[in-house]
Amino acid sequence: MKYNFLVSSAVLALASAAVAQAPQRRSYDGYKVVRLTVGQDVAKVNSIIDRLGLTTWKGKPRAGAAADIVIPPSQADAFAAETAGMEAVTMHEDLGASIAQESTFHIYAAGSANATWFESYHSYNDHVQFLGDLQSQFPEQSQIVSSGKSLNGKDITGIHFWGKSGKGKPAVVFHGTVHAREWISTMVVEYVAHYLLNNQDDAEVEGFLDKYDFIFFPFVNPDGFIYTQTEDRMWRKNRQSSSGSNCLGHDINRNWPYKWDVSGGASSNPCAEDFKGESEGDAPETEALSAWLKSTQAGQGVKLFIDWHSYSQLFMTPYGYSCTEVASNNEELQSLAKGAAAAIEKVHGTSFEAGPICSTIYKATGSSVDYTYDVVGADYVFTAELRDRGNYGFVLPPEQIVPTCEETYAGVRYLLQNMK
């Protein structure tokens, strides 16, 4: 089996290529990102964050965990004084500089949907072009699809592809870039599509394509994704307004119409990054995606659904809304998740933890995973948090795109080999 069909990262680093600087409106120059060990000082840490008006990258700090905190230059001295004696590691000494390095895009030439794509991150328009170019290389075995429209009228664009046996088989469905700032998830979804379509001479890949349809949506939050590239790299939500608030954005992955009103798994504050919306399913993106999944299940069945995120290196199963409820095929799901994590680790030594969402990361209500499992009725449902565990967080350097994609394919391969 050929995992490393791409040029090695070391060679890529030496290759010359035209680059274009992505527009970056909100400046993070001089901002630090610090991982603070919370321990049992959760009340103190939350108080510091609130009083200094700081933001965090992984939600509200919890006891026994670590908090990844973004600190503007104006609060650097105050933060240092407030946390004196506490254990802290600097993730980004200058977040603005890290973003500038990450956001140097290689210029994409239309019609060149080849392996060099994975050398850097890309603009939204180039992603749409890449998918179209990839499809045009395999016109008899693929098509560009849409699962609906975003708030701003953008298509939620995907690629549907299949093997020689034709389309209409049980579907493998991937979602990427639900949270707009998680750029690596876009690349991973595209990599798996690119790999499968370009390796059909491999008997195993041919078998996968003949057994399943693959329907991949690399960016299900196009408005938010565009906003990260034009206005604010750290934006998470969609761009939806809420009555009585000047804050924009609903968290698409807290808005699905299932267990939406369960407490403790999302925020009711429109200014919060995990704002669940004013009512269940009121985000246009969620409404479109949920309807599309139900229709696909009715038409051909959904065999496997994976919602790709970053960061933390986790491979997770239902449920997010409860830490006590257990999926009906939980034993099989846990076995598959652990197997996928082990397969991932074998490629580059990247260690993933496996387990249910609620007990592995945190409680999350109104999520796509719980909806797709219980309402849609898909057979196998997972969500993954990709690299890394906190060295870079959301701003993962371009040189880590290829290894992240390679190890992710190994995890996907394991699932395709072992699902019943």
Asked if 194 contacts 117 with a C-beta cutoff of 8 angstroms, the reply is: yes
- Residue for token digits 């034709």? 166
Contact 114, 190 (CB under 8 A): no
Q: To 10 degrees, what angle do helices 203-211 and 401-418 make? A: 70
Per-residue tokens: 332: 């099989």
Helix axes 183-198, 203-211, angle to 10 degrees: 110
Let me know if 102 is a catalytic residue: no
Question: Cβ neighbours of residue 206 under 8 Å, at least 6 residues apart?
Answer: 163, 164, 200
Phi/psi class of residue 389: alpha, beta or left (left: φ > 0; alpha: ψ in -120 to 50)?
alpha
Tokens of 256: 């699905």
Instruction: Please choose, from the candidates 1, 99, 146, the residue with its C-alpha nearest in 3D space to the C-alpha of residue 396.
Output: 99
Catalytic-labelled residue, pool 190, 280, 285, 385: 385
CA 220 to each of CA 51, 180, 317: distance values in angstroms, whole numbers, following the listed order: 35, 9, 20
Catalytically active residues are 385
